[in-house]
A and B are shown apart, each in its own frame.
Chain A
């Protein structure tokens, strides 16, 4: 058995109610490592790409990587992948939490699920045994309730569950792990809902075998020291990811009023990491084996937005339910976050749809007649809190937004589409490319649509990290230029996407030296990879998923930034600046070996050892 892996994968056929094991060959693991990269490989090899994402035959993958369960900091990650019902292209999302390591301990590296159950079920994976169980008593429950019920039966279970949004096929439905960690993006909760799979739970006591336990312990110790000395880790521990709110507003990173205003310091001060910590934080919380503990646990003790102690919002959520909708009430953001968690909805896409609706409401393209009486004036967080359950239940106007902002805008027609800020159907995360052109290119080229987590551009372009030993880069980049950015994005993608295969948290990737991550990976697996090998794995992963997207219809026409982002802001650090899309694309295509159609050239596919993809793209 290859070290670092549990050595088997679980296949679940919901139609037949059958669970069986399969293995993945060592050469395949050497090429794709794990995580979403291996999920993509299994998808292309074994399933019909043209199937509707919500059809029974479309598979859902839950994947870990070899570092998961090792105890190395930041390696509690796992990925869920499928054809996205929101975008119609490759979909994936990853999170930390507790589920990944527990699945490994339960004896599996990953799960592949197909079919549709006749009635709602949940999947139990306990100590190497998989069973499908009746979920009638769970269906209709929100994620917090379902998680509590499942843990009541077995407190040791680590739970992955959907809420009403997933059950009702809201196209940006999320999947929650133990209430506080979310597979948010690309609507994978709806894929679970379509399969009538309410939850997946794991418990196990297995131990991961490493290639060199002694060496691993040494590296682990060095990693702990690096984290202790890292200012970024200190910042994440003290303020969570929302530390970005203050700094980002100065740097032109934070979007305001559906991407139409360049800065608002009163908003950022009201919604910032320090404000969250000082006003509502009860404690920091960590994913399994993480010393950073960037997660916020918060409580709103009284008032209209009162919440019990529970998982708090991250930066993205503070921005989407704060700056993006002109709401300066942080307690209201906490409440919106709690509702999205409970119903199981991606805060970014859900909030983006609401910000879009607010803009249309201001322009009178939507009125209270269409919104079922809701006053969607900017900043009206009360209306947002009323709207969220309606989206999750697909009620009235909520049903329109449940389709996602792009589909909703197409239904309204006219200028409504111009107010949707997306790439390939996925709403932009809360980092403005007008302040950072490299991020714009990364959004254009990310394989799941606009994404800040399929690469490490956030860290490299904004100067949180500098790794000249890994690829040519400067200590300090100017955000508002497109010069030198194509190469930066290319390398930052290869390294960041690699982190997704290894299943290591991006924040830890920022805090740790690449040598430490490389050495830990080798001590666990015995693969003996150098930087060049690892970066090739990253490039292979990117190209493979691009090829899948090409087969799903993606071309160079889809590699564009939305009209709103190509409209200069009047104020802030990004004022007057927009990414030079044509230049970025031209330079990037050359580096990636994409032809004028946006398809990987045959030579590039050969170079990366992707013959199976070459045969599909060049039949």
Chain B
């Protein structure tokens, strides 16, 4: 399996492809509507000198835009999730459950929490598929 540098467009494309290719995702996410942006807080020691913004969009089991973006675009998403690089890395490596990180305040969410809870299986599936991508991280691992 090819390995991708984390937080690059290629990495996002690989993630998008994973999701698009999952029949299970299509079934689970048939009611999901809307975009999710991810904000990675800067951490110069880990090779992240500036904040990074990613925009991902999902619609009734289909996957739409998956792109690196600027702050303004990120803030247009239906849901905005932010956190430190180290936390996102733990989530993408399945070392920490995203819901738990959210409840512990290690990730922040802007958006309708009720909608997320209602569709928690969709959220979990998207993260599970991210965890399947072989990733090269800026600080190793």
Contact = CB atoms under 8 A, between A and B. Distances in A.
| Pairing of A with B | yes
B117 A273 contact: yes
Contacts of A274: 114-115, 117-118
B99 A238 contact: no
B117 A476 contact: no
A231 B108 contact: yes
B103 A465 contact: yes
Interface in A231-289: 231-232, 234-235, 238-239, 243, 246-247, 250, 265, 272-274, 277-278
Given A465-B103, A476-B97, A246 B124 contact: no
Contacts of B118: 246, 272, 274
A250 B108 contact: no
A238 B114 contact: yes
Interface in B70-99: 90, 95-97, 99
A464 interface: yes
Q: Is the interface of A mostly helix, strand, loop or mixed?
A: helix
B106 A475 contact: yes
Chain A contact patch, size range: 20 to 34
A487 B96 CA distance: 20
A250 B124 contact: yes
Nearest to B101: A475
Contacts of A462: 100
B141 interface: no
B99 A247 contact: yes
Given A476-B96, A476-B97, A229 B105 contact: yes
A201 B104 CA distance: 39
A272 B118 CA distance: 8
B109 A231 contact: yes
A230 interface: yes
Nearest to A247: B120
25 contacts: A229-B108, A231-B105, A231-B108, A231-B113, A232-B103, A235-B103, A235-B113, A235-B117, A246-B118, A247-B117, A247-B120, A250-B121, A265-B121, A272-B118, A273-B114, A274-B117, A277-B114, A463-B97, A463-B99, A465-B103, A466-B104, A475-B90, A475-B101, A475-B106, A476-B96
Q: Which of the listed residues B96, B101, B117 has the most CB atoms from chain A within 10 Å of its own CB?
A: B117
A231 B102 contact: yes
Contacts of B97: 463, 476
A243 B100 contact: no
A230 B118 CA distance: 19
A207 to B, nearest CB: 34
Contacts of B100: 462-464, 475-476
A246 B104 contact: no
Contacts of A466: 104
Contacts of A231: 102-103, 105, 108-109, 113
Closest 6 interchain pairs by CB? A463-B100, A274-B118, A464-B103, A274-B114, A231-B102, A476-B96
Contacts of A272: 117-118
A246 B105 contact: no
Nearest to A236: B113
Among A231, A232, A234, A238, chain B packs the most CB atoms within 10 A around the CB of A231
Nearest to A475: B96
A86 B101 CA distance: 39
B113 A234 contact: yes
A232 B124 CA distance: 18
A290 to B, nearest CB: 18
A517 to B, nearest CB: 15
Contacts of B105: 229-231
A461 to B, nearest CB: 10
Contact of A464 (B104, B109, B121, B124): B104
A34 B86 CA distance: 41
Nearest to A269: B118
Nearest to B104: A466
Nearest to B87: A475
A243 B102 CA distance: 14
A230 B103 CA distance: 7
Given A476-B95, A476-B97, A463 B104 contact: yes
Nearest to A474: B96
Contacts of B117: 235, 239, 243, 246-247, 272-274
A240 B124 CA distance: 22
Contacts of B113: 231, 234-235, 238-239
Contacts of B115: 274
Contacts of B96: 475-476
Contacts of B108: 229, 231
A230 B104 CA distance: 8
Interface string B114-130: 11011011001000000
B97 to A, nearest CB: 6
B120 A465 contact: no
Nearest to A275: B118
A520 B18 CA distance: 49
Contacts of A277: 114
A427 B125 CA distance: 34
Interface string A371-410: 0000000000000000000000000000000000000000
A232 B101 CA distance: 11
A147 to B, nearest CB: 31
Most buried by B among A232, A239, A465, A476: A476
Nearest to B96: A476
A232 B106 CA distance: 12
Contacts of B101: 475
A227 to B, nearest CB: 11
Interface string A445-464: 00000000000000000111
A246 B109 CA distance: 18
